[in-house]
Amino acid sequence: MTGIVFVIDQDVHLAKLVSSVLVPAGIDVSGYCSGHAALTAMETLSPDLLIVGERNTESDGVGWVAKLREVQHRIPVAFVASRWRDPEFYRTLKDDLSVALIAHRPLKPSVLKAQLSDLLAIDWRNEAEPEEIPITFASDANGLNSSPAYAKWRRMFIASIPQRMERLGSLLTALSLTNDRVKIIAEATIIAHNLKGTALSWGFTELGDAAARMENVLQQDTGSGAFSSSIVEDAAMLFHLLNEETRVLSADPDISDIMDEIPELAADKAHVLLVGTESLPCDELSQRAGIGVEVIQTTYEKAIEAAEKVALDAALIEVPELGQTEQCFNLARRLRDLPGYENLPMAFIVPAEAGAQMEGAARAHAGGSIVVGRPVDGPTVDMVIGRLLSLAEGGRFRVLVVDDDADMSSLVCRCLGQFGIIARSLSDPLQVMNVLNEFNPDLLLLDVMMPGMSGFEVCKKLRSGDRWRDLPIIFLTAQTDLPSRITAYEAGADDYLPKPVINVELLTRVKARLEKSRELKERSERDLLTGLLMRRPFSEQVNGMISEATRHGLEFTIALLDVDYFKQVNDSYGHDAGDLVLATVGKLLRRRFRVEDVRGRWGGEEFILAFRHENLEVMKRALTRVMDELRSIEFPCGDKSFRVSFSAGLSAFPRDEQTLQGLVQVADRRLYLAKTGGRSLILTEG
């Protein structure tokens, strides 16, 4: 396509950013620091869109748009704000100045691309190199996906309405026959509320508006016994309107005439690599894992190639025979060495007689969290994959959608799934804590109005504990009045997204919140040089490990290690060489051991590790493997090179001590003995 876009802002970088996004799609972008110059250019050119920043050389952006509207009412305008403002600011832009889109700095190219696609009706499918957020579908005026598969899914929503209407009709009939109305009103209101939100999100405005009026009528009952006959009559009339709207939708050929061969629009699945010759019973994997699972089976020879083609969430590696375990471990280490896979959870499938004989140190060093013996049945596969997915950290974003309306939560999950986000839905808010601990999401999308426990109550509960205190929470609700918004933020919400859900807006807000949250977490918890946890977050995780081990009578091991002769490295080769050594050790520790093990930088050239459910001797052998790897690395420095090693002291919970401070003191004492005993030693006694 072709088109013209003007960018009016005194910051020239805004025009450059817009050009990088739109020029590849055939859009001509012109930047103006002067608002007067832009108005003059419009006398000879007719731009399809104006992107206006907060200031140009003559005036502020809002004033310039107001001046524009005096002479030009129809041209679309996108406004780029430098910060978030009060609601009145947005009302002025939207209602008084007819601004079509409001974006906020800092802008990301991928997000800006998503925001501008609808305004310019750009089809990005033919782009050679799609951006981080690929727009793979054209959108209608409501911002809803208009692809054939999406239309089929809309039809499935229409097919679900009669059942809702039947239940609502039964409730309204019971309402006119009884004085015990509290439960009836509550259930009927929830049905109307959910129907309103989902219908409007699909673009069925008339149906959504009728459901909204039904909800408002039902909410007139205060429970005080003053429920009037006029309310019953109003509800009956609105029920009739809802039935009419349902009938019209069902008869619409544009909706009902969907070909059976059109593929179902599905949410993104978790990808699990299965290496080996054995086929696993994978028919109902999603029941335990909570999300769709796609198993990608391959051979040892093609495993690396397969891993590089798709974003993996877990791996299962088959050990054909007991004597071939080292081949299995080598492949596991190669997988963990691939970019982005240092936290890949892994399980090993071994011959039945080999489970007890598999060398624990080699398995822990290679990153195997689970060992399961053949033959493997369906429930076992389900359990193993569910466990691996719950261990996953980093990698693709995960979002939990909590909404009692299954159609709405499925819509949201599929919207997010199209862009690589693993989304899981939950209809019962009372199960939130269990699912959070199992699924370990990066963000929670939460409805307000749900039976059993409101979204506000769920949010307050999560904010009152340590485990989920910092989890980003976005309310997704049709309750958009000011008191509801205030209550949401008072409960601890990070953002508030009103229904109806518009795909691009939902994606943009969720992605921005996810990226910001992960960036802040990385900055606050991880050492920049080594990528390992800093002392405070490491201590918090190990204290949680101590609580778990105390409750269940478990053991674990602490290792404190120190790079040998590190001062000599700095003195002989310079501090850059010393930093390279520390960064290399950090990378090696991140890529070895299991996902559930905790790794940290204790200070200077000291590192600390905590190994779940493993004893001293096993972890001593595993650390010895890491030491051998480190010794084999040659560090170049000009025309010279050098090698390094480390010394370590280990302590065990509960054998040596029962507190983190005590465990570190014991490990430090043994580390000192290793240093004075000749270095390159790992001690578990002394």
Query: Are 511 and 151 contacting, i.e. CB atoms less than 8 angstroms apart?
Result: no
Cα(382)–Cα(482) distance, integer angstroms: 45
Cα(31)–Cα(221) distance, integer angstroms: 57
* Torsion, Cα of 421, 426, 429, 430 (10° steps): -120
pLDDT tens-digit readout, 661-670: 999 999 999 9
Fold match between domain 3-126 and domain 398-522 = yes
Sorted by where each begins, the domain ranges of the chain are 3-126, 148-256, 270-391, 398-522, 535-683
Query: Are 291 and 400 contacting, i.e. CB atoms less than 8 angstroms apart?
Result: no
Annotated active-site residue 522? The verdict is no
Kindly report the CATH number that applies to the domain delimited by 535-683: 3.30.70.270
Cα(379)–Cα(215) distance, integer angstroms: 43
The pTM for the full model equals 0.57
pLDDT tens-digit readout, 52-66: 999 888 888 999 999
pLDDT tens-digit readout, 103-146: 777 676 766 776 677 677 765 544 444 333 332 333 333 334 44
pLDDT tens-digit readout, 63-119: 999 988 888 778 899 998 887 566 567 778 888 888 888 777 767 676 677 667 767
Q: Considering 131, 318, 605, 614, which one is annotated as catalytic?
A: 605
Kindly report the CATH number that applies to the domain delimited by 148-256: 1.20.120.160
User: Which CATH class for the 270-391 domain?
Assistant: alpha beta
List Cβ neighbours of 151 (8 Å cut-off, separation of 6 or more). 255, 258, 262
What does the pLDDT read at residue 258? Answer: 40
Query: Are 139 and 117 contacting, i.e. CB atoms less than 8 angstroms apart?
Result: yes
Amino acid occupying residue 333: R
Cα(30)–Cα(9) distance, integer angstroms: 11
pLDDT tens-digit readout, 441-480: 889 998 887 877 888 888 888 888 777 888 889 888 766 6
Residue 9 has pLDDT above 80, yes or no: yes
What is the second-level CATH architecture of the domain 3-126?
3-Layer(aba) Sandwich (3.40)
Coil, strand or helix at 472: coil
**CATH fourth-level superfamily of 398-522:** Response regulator (3.40.50.2300)
* Higher-scoring residue by pLDDT: 563, 422: 563
